Amino acid sequence: MSVGQITTTRDGAALHVRFDNPSAHNALTGQMWFDLRDVALGVAADPSVRVVTFRGVGGKAFISGTDISKFADFTTGEQGIDYERGIDECMGAIDAIPCTTIAAIEGWAVGGGINIASACDFRIATPDAKFGSPIGRTIGNCLSAASVARVGGAVGVQFAKRMVLLGEMLTAEQLLASGFLLKLVERGAIDGELAALCARAAENAPLTTRTTKETIRRMTFGDLPAIEALVGEVYGSADFRRGVADFLAKTKRLPDWEGR
């Protein structure tokens, strides 16, 4: 896994966050996750930031997933619970950003990519963008309750089921029709579209934006079920260990799931 980094640039009231790991299609390393959390916490403490954009470097992917090499060392379900708690901590910081957030998606938005895109207020994408979370066909892990609520709330429950239960990759056109995407934008027009959206969002009353976002955040995450035991069962399973081993070995066939 390449090192990768989170980079930021400031343009007036806008902060631009970039996922910079193009050799791995912008897959997030563990350090990138926690650097992203720290960026989000910094935005929450800086009222001069009125809008934040998220975009992958290289034009081929927004985020293609997460570095799973650490999963090879997992031997207990508790390790999986701790991992999902860490992801929830990072994602929770993005959810709590008090200003408008915009994802610009070129190419793949998979796994952590669909999660982060779902946390944003608005999403624009190139026509060739693809979206999914095919964990049931790759490593056989599961999502936290917060991740299910976030992605399901953004894309819709039926689309979320198609991504996870069937392992489908959904197209930009499908998610435009569902309302998940604000609009489709040709590659050469993304910079201009982002600038226009940033300018409009920055003009909005910040207290109106903050209060509305916080209300929606509490409605989405305020009464989540406690599923740690279920998460532990999945991460502690022989199926999960088999899926990780096959994935890291670049086995082409689907793992031979046994349900235990």
- Please give the CATH superfamily to which domain 5-187 belongs: 2-enoyl-CoA Hydratase; Chain A, domain 1 (3.90.226.10)
Answer yes or no: is pLDDT of 28 > 90.
yes
- Which residue, 161, 101, 140, is CA-closest to 258? 140
pLDDT tens readout for residues 135-173? 999 999 999 999 999 999 999 999 999 999 999 999 999
pLDDT of the residue at 249: 93
Answer yes or no: is pLDDT of 80 > 80.
yes
Contact 133, 64 (CB under 8 A): no
pLDDT of the residue at 115: 98
Answer yes or no: is pLDDT of 2 > 80.
no
pTM recorded for the entire structure? 0.96
pLDDT tens readout for residues 53-75? 999 999 999 999 998 999 999 99
Structural domain spans, the chain: 5-187
Q: What does pLDDT average to over the chain?
A: 96
Answer yes or no: is pLDDT of 1 > 70.
no
CA distances in angstroms from 242 to 27, 162, 163, listed in the order given: 22, 23, 21
